[in-house]
Amino acid sequence: MSTTPVIEVDRLNLTYGDFPAVRDLSFEVRPGELYALLGTNGAGKTSTLEVVEGHRAPTSGTVRVFGHGPRDRRSVRPRMGVMLQESGFSPDLTVRESVGLIGRLSGRSDDVDRVIDLVDLTDRAGRRVSQLSGGEKRRLDFATAVYGTPELIVLDEPTTGLDIQTRDAVWATVDRLRENGATIVLTTHYLEEAQQRADRIGLMHQGTLDREGTVSELTRSLPAVIQFSLAEPVPVLPRHLVVDADGKVVIETFALQKDLHALLGWAQDHAVELRDLQAGPTRLDDVFRAITR
Amino acid sequence: MLPIASSELIQILRNRLVLVTSLIIPFAVSALFVRQHEVFADIGSLGYIAAIVMFTVAAFGLYATAVTTLASRRQNLFLKRLRSTAVADSTILAGLLLPPTTIAVVQVAAILTALAVVAGGPANVALLVLAVIATLAMMIALALATAGLTNSPEHAQVTTLPVTLGVIAVATWVGIAGTENLAWLKRLLPGGAATELAGNAWNGGVAVTDSLLLLAPTLGWVAVAVALATRLFRWEPRR
């Protein structure tokens, strides 16, 4: 497989009037990887994707997709499927007509009914888009993105508004596409989806890329937390432990297993009851909260 | 282009409001002019009837429908969806505008043929065809420019009024009063020269070379409208 980046973003800036939506953003997406672009509302994720999709011209900086400018539709679009954040289908066309139209215009070929079946809309194929629920519209959107099995698929909040079964079905399809070598770029508000599936994550905040790396690289930068409460004062508390007014103890550690083992040993030796004991590795949520603090 | 055009035709046929405004109203108004051609010929001429029919279809059938369609497709992000595909912007616009343009051409041809059958045909068919083509080109260009100022299909009911009423008023003024007085003003107004050209083509009596000069102001309006559309047209709703 080629190692040339599928997407190259170099010092991208995008402003709306005086408002800088994206500031000096650089990142690459490698062939076959699932790259998740995460961030708070207004962090600049969708603006960045819109430049990558060719919907918006950068104020400065360069973006290349498969080595081409993203606005070179003839070169880029047949290799790239896009799931927009908002629907964008004509309410008066049916599901089958919508998939057929957008599919044909994508420059890829596929069996319309196969794609409709893939997103479980076969029984809605003859219905107009105006008669679909929000979740069904998202599935229709996903269908047009994966039509013709493109090499690159951009998914802007693909599972928002979907029930858990449909969400699983969407991810199963994405997994199959990845097995065939597809590259995925994802934005989502469901951090657990990114944590489970992304090869690398870019965390955006206020238009810039605050951090980037694998889940373990990102979480490694923050300590894990052990917390418990003490039922009664303890005469021989280890000196680095601080008990707050409610009797709660919070330990931040970069060596969770070792320190938890030591804590349990200490509690055993001194017959101390650790109430509501909780311990866990750093999660993406914690990193996310840390950058927005 | 053809897949977009065929989907657009399906949408027109499924939308009763668009169907009524783009097909039935222009046809009904034009049918009235043809049926009462003797009355209107006394007021103006048969050429005036041909011009007013042409502008009724071009304004209500083509221009208003095109503005409404573009505003609607932009509002529901259908334009953005189409731009996510491999086709060029020009192909998208051509596909969206082909059905209302084809419908307008068929309507004008049918109504003018009916007028020719009941009242006698035009003196110069080729000149009449040129007048129709120039008029439709002007109205399409004006539609693209107006669509840039139109936020929604509902808003189109307001934004299309100046041009629709304006060209009908100019066509009526030129068709009834002629161009003996204020000739330059009448010819420079949108629709004025095209009305005179259609009148000359139907009534005859004017040298073809003199009539052909009347294409210039209409083509000038096409250029102005395209320039405006280039600046004003938007593919996505305003943020």
What's the CATH number where A109 sits? Answer: 3.40.50.300
Which residues of chain B make contact with A73, given a CB cutoff of 8 A? 85-88
Same domain, A182 and A64: yes
Same domain, A178 and A265: no
**Nearest partner of A173 among A195, A153, A196, judged by Cα:** A153
CA distance A25 to A16: 16
Considering the domain architecture, whether residues A124 and A70 belong to the same structural domain is answered as yes
Q: Examine the domain organization and report whether A104 and A172 are in the same domain.
A: yes
| Helices B64-75 + B2-14 axis angle, to 10 | 100
Report pLDDT for A6: 94
Domain end: A166, A194, A219, which one? A219
**A248: closest CA among A236, A263, A230?**
A230
Distance from CA of A71 to the nearest CA of B (A): 10
The candidate with the shortest Cα–Cα distance to B136, out of B36, B228, B61, B74, is B61
What pLDDT is attached to residue A1? 59
10-residue mean pLDDT profile of chain A (293 residues): values are 86 91 93 92 89 92 94 92 86 94 93 92 93 89 93 90 85 90 90 89 90 87 85 68 74 86 86 86 83 76
- Facing residue for A88 by CB, picked from B7, B14, B80: B80
A59, A196: one domain:
yes
Is residue A292 in some structural domain? Answer: no
Q: Cβ contacts of residue A144 below 8 Å, gap of 6+?
A: A81, A83, A98, A99, A102, A103, A106, A115, B81
In whole angstroms, what is the distance from residue A201 CA to residue A182 CA? Answer: 17
Q: Is A86 on the interface with B (CB under 8 A)?
A: yes
- Decide if A1 is inside a domain: no
Give me the residue spans of the domains in chain B.
2-232
pLDDT tens readout for residues B145-160: 999 999 998 999 899 9
pLDDT at A238: 65
- Calculated CA dihedral for residues B214, B217, B221, B224, nearest 10 degrees: 150
Q: Compare B33 and A146 and report the one with higher pLDDT.
A: A146
A195 touches chain B (CB under 8 A): no
Lookup: tokens for B160: 């299309």
Residues A108 and A184 in one domain: yes
**pLDDT computed for residue B171 by the predictor:** 92
Q: How far is CA B130 from CA B188, B190, B196, B238, in A?
A: 18, 16, 12, 38
Give the pLDDT score at B82: 94
Q: Are residues A41 and A171 in the same domain?
A: yes
On whether both A228 and A195 belong to a single domain, the answer is: no
> What is the Cα–Cα distance from A143 to B105, expressed in whole angstroms?
37
Q: Which residue has the higher pLDDT, B205 or B230?
A: B230
Q: Which of B84, B87, B234 to mutate to test the interface with A (most CBs of A within 10 A)?
A: B84
Contact call for B88 and A77, based on CB within 8 A: no
* A156 is a domain residue: yes
The answer to whether residue B115 scores a pLDDT higher than 70 is yes
CA angle B145, B147, B152 (to 5 degrees): 160
Measured between CB atoms, which of B78, B86, B88 is closest to A78?
B86
From the list A34, A40, A37, the residue with the least C-alpha distance to A12 is: A37
Last residue of a domain, one of A219, A239, A267: A219
What is the residue range of A263's domain? 223-282
Tokens of A124: 């809605």
Per DSSP, A281 falls in state -
CB atoms within 10 A of CB A99: 24
Report the share of chain B in percent with pLDDT over 70. Answer: 100
Cβ(A232)–Cβ(A211) below 8 Å: no
Residue A291 domain-assigned (yes or no): no
B116 touches chain A (CB under 8 A): no
> What is the pTM for the complete model shown?
0.84
Three-class secondary structure of residue A5 per DSSP: coil
Inter-chain Cβ pairs, chain A and chain B, closer than 8 A: 70
Q: Is the CB of B113 inside 8 Å of chain A's CB atoms?
A: no
Task: Give the span between the Cα atoms of A83 and B81, in whole angstroms.
Answer: 9
Neighbours of B24 (CB within 10 A): 13
Which of chain A's residues have a Cβ under 8 Å away from the Cβ of B234?
none
Looking at residue A79, what DSSP letter applies? G
Asked if residue A26 lies in contact with residue A52, where contact means CB atoms within 8 angstroms, the answer is no
Structure tokens at B156: 């189109």
Whether A274 and chain B come into contact, CB under 8 Å, resolves to: no
The answer to whether residue A91 neighbours chain B at the CB level (below 8 Å) is: yes
The closest CB to that of A86, out of B14, B15, B77, belongs to: B77
Chain B: nearest CA to A16, how far in angstroms? 9
B129 alpha-carbon distance from chain centroid: 13
Comparing CB atoms, the residue among B78, B87, B88 nearest residue A88 is B78
Same domain, A239 and A214: no
Instruction: Report the distance separating Cα A13 and Cα B162, nearest Å.
Output: 40
pLDDT at B46 over 90: no
Q: How would DSSP label each residue in B57-97?
A: IIIIIIIHHHHHHHHHHHHTTHHHHHHTSSS-HHHHHHHHH
In this predicted structure, the answer to whether residue B131 has a pLDDT above a threshold of 70 is yes
Structural tokens at position B41: 């010929």
Question: Which residues on neighbouring strands pair with residue A30, listed in sequence order?
Answer: none
Closest CA of chain B from A283, distance in Å:
35
The two three-digit tokens of residue A93, written as one number: 């066309």
d(CA A194, CA A201): 8
The pLDDT tens digits for B75-94 are 999 999 999 999 999 999 99
Q: Are residues A270 and A173 located together in one domain of the fold?
A: no
Which whole number is the average pLDDT over B112-137? Answer: 90
Q: Which two tokens stand for residue A44?
A: 């600049």
Q: Which of A198, A219, A240 is the last residue of a domain?
A: A219
- Together in a domain, A231 and A90: no
Same domain, yes or no: A136 and A107: yes
Map residue B99 onto helix, strand or coil.
helix
Q: What is the pLDDT of residue A253?
A: 85
Q: How many CB atoms lie within 10 A of CB B179?
A: 18
Quote the tokens at residue A162: 């979907």
Distance from CA of B153 to the nearest CA of A (A): 14
